Structure 1
Amino acid sequence: MTSARTATRLMKTCTACVALIAAIAATPGAQAADPAKSIAFSPIALDIPAMQGLSGAVEHFAQDAGIGFVSLDPKFDPGQQAQQLSQVIETGKVQGAWSIVIRAAALRGVVKTAIDKNVALVVSGRPADYGLDGPQPGIAFSDINYEDYGASLADQLAQCITEKLDGSAQVLFFGDSSGTKAAELTDNAAKAALASGAPQASIVATAISLERLESQQKAAQMLQSKPDATAVYAANDENAMGAITAFRAAGKDLPCVVSGGGGAEALEAVSSGDLYAVAGFDFEGDAHQNFETLVSMMEDPTTAGPILEIPIKVTK
């Protein structure tokens, strides 16, 4: 569960990030910048459209709060990210910084310098990723709670099975395809939540799939051996849409299907009733949370910062 994997997962999951963050940044209300307060934003790379949008949103937040803003672009290079952040912190150019970290180990020195210089810092990951034990003065850590994410999605499937299938269903389970420890945590939490929320439901087949066509083909294969399946847990939108197509092609109803993601097509499928619910990361809420935490810590960077979690948003 390194910071780089976390950042990559976020960008893959948030297919609607660009439009969402652009909407935030479009809100009017900037104030004159306070020359005594400036912040830096360091994403993994500004070549990623969602990162460009997020940088624009953070700049807007800063303008609205009357705070100076510096945008950094490490271009996927952890060494360059550390160098850029060290420079703005050590020279006193900024009093706070938010970084979506490429590799936590590369920023261990940056975190130490920020503490020594009383510069507030929000970084992705957890204290242990930086060789630290617990909260630190002026440092906030922001990460994904993978267990909550998997459980949130499975809870929705359990609700659907209870509402539409009297609590009993054969479930096709499309697990997290990232192949990381985080995937294992997400899937295990989802299975436990489903067993708790719909104890009469059972997972009768599992699969891992990256693309929609592959998901459709695997769902069709599972249906051949498990023709009574009536529910699908899908770790991403492509899994969900592929499964829906496979059930339709087989002439079978699919009363309950949930998706982890939140792209435009999936949200439309929720509106049309094809999907029961979508669970995804609330990037708008996270952007506000991180910015507000950073500004608050800048007032007293000697106080231990919080350990934040990226909010989860359910649409149904």
Structure 2
Amino acid sequence: MTTQRSRTLAAACVLVVMAGLATAGCSKQETTDQATGDTGAGAQTVAPTTAAAGTGCTLQSYGATKLDLKNAVVGFSQSEKEANPFRIAETRSIKEEAAKLGVKKLLTTNAQSQLPKQISDIQDMLSQGAQLLIVAPLNSDGLEPALQAAAAKHVPVITIDRKLNATACKDYVAFLGSNFVEQGKRAADAMIKATGGKGKVAILLGASGNNVTTDRTKGFVDQLKAQAPGLEIVAQQTGEFARDKGQQVMEQLIQSKPDITAVYAENDEMGLGAVTALKGANKKPGKDIKIVSVDGTRNAVQALVNGEYNAVIESNPRFGPLAFATAQKFFGGEGIPENVIISDRAYDDSNAKASLGGAY
């Protein structure tokens, strides 16, 4: 379900990565992107994360020491309460992979969407002897005190799903996550297909202060401008990545922008909130109002099966295998690229029913 652009890009880049060579036509993100596309419902397919010879973040350049994860204390800092399916799947993936590898001890915390708590959570794990930190940042900014505490103890930090406005191989080893701009572009392509390239679109923005919202918006807006000038963006309001907020915003938009014909929600929870609002206004989601969102939760894919949705672009939360594989390579002396990109599939009416079991 990859786009033709991503297939072409992946095919060009993956051969270079597998050969371990420097790239001339691929960015740092593209050289670690997935080229295999979908290999089955929910499959996690990741390209090699090894950087080109002589490049990437190494133990020596980071100032860390070699570590056997089976004898290590690893800390995982989750940013948001595990009510959102993405967070549930993400935490489960980290725990399951740690158990599979036989990690000596896994410390887990949840910041409950509070930045001061995430800082103190990380500091507490360091005081409990954490030797590696896997962090899902709440925001792209604000974790400096926690990063400084980790640096003081020479504890490597790997970030997942949200990128920090910080320096790779100094403040953290690497970012593991999706290409959020590409997600926005793919969502735009799906919206163009669903609408025929014409109509009035409302964007339900994610939370402010992180790169996910910024990048998913940029990818979507830029792609519509380039490919479908007949799709006019008439509203952009934040739903804070929450279902209830998404519903509230949609209820307001139904009144203030009654001519809206499509909704782009920057996560599934907001999209599902929009479905509820539209039903409450006696409108048919997926038909009267086209809906495309990003995440890949089972509830959203089920809505697609039910005809109440038009497309879902996955944001893969299964970081456990990738996070620990990256850590093992790092502690084994390999260079780690600044951005390690996980594969994301896509769902539409052609594959949703068959792929429902792979959604999270």
Alignment partner of 1:195 is 2:234:
no
Distance 2:310 2:105 in 1: 41
Question: Which secondary structure does the structure 1 equivalent of 2:308 belong to?
Answer: coil
State the Cα distance separating 1:135 from its structure 2 match: 3.4
Alignment partner of 1:283 is 2:317:
yes
Alpha carbons 1:240, 1:259 under 8 Å: kept: no
Structure with larger Rg: 1
1:296 corresponds to which letter in structure 2?
Answer: K
The answer for the alignment partner of 1:307 in structure 2 is 339
Q: Give the paired residue count.
A: 262
Alignment partner of 1:84 is 2:111:
no
Structure 1 residue runs without a partner (length 5+): 1-20, 25-33
Distance 2:158 2:176 in 1: 7
Higher relative contact order (CA 8 A, sep 6+): 2
2:148 corresponds to which letter in structure 1?
Answer: G
Distance 1:57 1:69, change over 3 A: farther
User: What's the Cα RMSD here?
Assistant: 3.9
Distance 1:238 1:42, change over 3 A: same
Question: Which secondary structure does the structure 2 equivalent of 1:71 belong to?
Answer: strand
The structure 1 residue matched to 2:247, chosen from 212, 237, 243, is 212
Question: Which secondary structure does the structure 2 equivalent of 1:43 belong to?
Answer: strand
Distance 1:279 1:243, change over 3 A: farther
Structure 2 residue runs without a partner (length 5+): 1-41, 45-67, 112-116, 240-244, 349-360
State the Cα distance separating 1:233 from its structure 2 match: 2.5
Alignment of 1:1-316 (within 5 A): 37-44=71-78, 48=82, 54-73=90-109, 76-85=117-126, 87-89=128-130, 94=131, 96-101=132-137, 103-113=142-152, 116=154, 120-124=156-160, 126=163, 128-129=165-166, 132=167, 134-135=168-169, 139-142=173-176, 145-161=179-195, 165=196, 167=197, 169-180=198-209, 182=211, 183-203=213-233, 205-208=234-237, 209=239, 210-223=245-258, 226=259, 230-235=261-266, 236-238=270-272, 240-242=274-276, 244-245=278-279, 248-249=282-283, 253-254=287-288, 256-284=290-318, 286-300=319-333, 303-304=335-336, 306-309=338-341, 311-316=343-348
Is the deviation greater in 170-179 or in 48-57? Answer: 48-57
Distance 1:70 1:128, change over 3 A: same
The answer for the alignment partner of 1:28 in structure 2 is none
1:293 corresponds to which letter in structure 2?
Answer: T
User: Residues 161-205 of structure 1, C-alpha deviation per residue, up to 9 Å, x if partnerless?
Assistant: 3xxx3x4x11221230524464344323311112223243333x2
Is the deviation greater in 34-43 or in 250-259? Answer: 250-259
Distance 1:221 1:292, change over 3 A: same
The answer for the alignment partner of 1:31 in structure 2 is none
Alpha carbons 2:246, 2:274 under 8 Å: kept: no
What TM-score, normalized by structure 1, do the two folds share?
Answer: 0.65
State the Cα distance separating 1:277 from its structure 2 match: 0.4
